[in-house]
Chain A
């Protein structure tokens, strides 16, 4: 069964600093990988996704992620964090097959210090 691990429950960074959120997945074939952001009491907004091709994926709001098959990772990065980036971030893996189910990680709460 597919699974996702986000090792960091909370991360605090200073505004303007760089950010990396870790995500490791377990899946038997080539995974469909996603990063979502959630503000309190809101739904999920897609930041970026990887299906195939270039392993460095660019997303919205200046985010990027790199798929590393050898490490089963899909870490999210941003060169300079803004205070408005404070939110909950979820990594997810989709099975891509008939079920198309998404499995989410436990999330990383990002706090940005001004």
Chain B
């Protein structure tokens, strides 16, 4: 089946630095990628939708200058958390639309210290 590989699985960074999270579609072309954020013991909140070759569409309340999304190819989408702060610590998950639904990456645990 369609697989999305997400890296890194976890990352610890210092406050003020930037972190990049990658999602690669391994055996299909991901025209559309969704990025979610999940706080501990809470649901997934959609942050943005990215389409290959165009600007991402951000959900209301999501800072597009802080969470930079790039979808330059049909197999790679990246989320960069810029100038990270402790409140950005969370679990980030990507998802791609596939023929019969959606497939999800395994998630990235970001801890900002």
Contact = CB atoms under 8 A, between A and B. Distances in A.
A105 B43 contact: yes
Interface of A: 32, 34, 36, 41-46, 49, 90, 94, 99-107, 109
A76 B59 CA distance: 29
Contacts of A105: 43
Nearest to B6: A43
* In the complex, the 8 A-B pairs of residues with the closest C-beta atoms, listed nearest first: A43-B106, A44-B104, A43-B104, A106-B43, A104-B43, A104-B44, A43-B107, A49-B101
Contacts of B45: 104
Nearest to A99: B49
Q: Is the interface of B mostly helix, strand, loop or mixed?
A: strand
B41 to A, nearest CB: 8
Contacts of A100: 32, 97
Q: Is the interface of A mostly helix, strand, loop or mixed?
A: strand
A14 B34 CA distance: 36
Contact of B46 (A44, A46, A102, A109): A102
Interface of B: 6, 32, 34, 41-46, 49, 91, 93, 95, 97, 100-107, 109
B105 A43 contact: yes
Contacts of A104: 43-45
A97 to B, nearest CB: 12
B59 to A, nearest CB: 9
A42 B34 contact: no
Contacts of A103: 46
Nearest to B109: A41
B105 A101 contact: no
